[in-house]
């Protein structure tokens, strides 16, 4: 898509190209960031029985919590990569930026863990 401010990129909007970019970024995150991969696997393992028991609200809550957590993980990875690219040596300001990004990710991971634990307890109660 052409950037109207920088006058760069290609003309035209193609939704399929956007999905290709989305899947490429997600694939990269899953392959190169183990924390993303195992969280997706845990979410899927909890999600399957929830859907089997037709707990639609719980399933949507798992999807929401997992989506927010994955977005935070990927934003954190992107921020860290940009910081490392901009400054290869130790810099206290870069450290603060990385710490803030990591703490925001930590908050979303905490919420995700709470949701997953509550749903896992509910699944165990059913059995």
Helix (H, G, I), strand (E, B) or coil at 49: helix
Q: Is 66 exposed, middle or buried (0-12, 13-18, 19+ CB in 10 A)?
A: buried
Helix (H, G, I), strand (E, B) or coil at 8: strand
Which residue carries 């863990």 as its tokens?
113
Residue 105: how many CA atoms within 13 Å on its side-chain side? 20
Within 10 Å of residue 50's Cβ, how many Cβ atoms? Answer: 22
Residue of 10, 55, 73, 92 marked catalytic: 73
Query: Is 80 labelled as part of a ligand binding site?
Result: yes
- Is 122 assigned a catalytic role? no
Query: Is 84 labelled as part of a ligand binding site?
Result: no
Helix (H, G, I), strand (E, B) or coil at 125: helix
Q: Which residues pair with 37 in a beta bridge?
A: none
Query: Is 99 labelled as part of a ligand binding site?
Result: yes
Numbered residues of the known binding site for a divalent metal cation: 80
Numbered residues of the known binding site: 73, 80, 98-99
Which positions are catalytic? 73
């Amino acid at each position: 898509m052409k950037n109207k401010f920088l006058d760069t990129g290609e003309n035209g909007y193609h939704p399929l190209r956007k999905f290709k970019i989305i899947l490429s970024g997600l694939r990269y995150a899953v392959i190169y960031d183990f924390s993303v991969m195992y969280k997706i696997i845990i979410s899927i393992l909890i999600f399957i029985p929830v859907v089997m028991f037709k707990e639609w609200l719980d399933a949507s809550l798992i999807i929401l919590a997992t989506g927010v957590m994955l977005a935070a993980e990927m934003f954190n990875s992107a921020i860290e990569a940009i910081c490392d690219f901009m400054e290869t040596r130790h810099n206290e300001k870069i450290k603060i930026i990385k710490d803030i990004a990591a703490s925001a990710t930590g908050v979303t991971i905490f919420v995700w863990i709470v949701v997953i634990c509550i749903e896992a307890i509910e699944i165990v109660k059913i059995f």
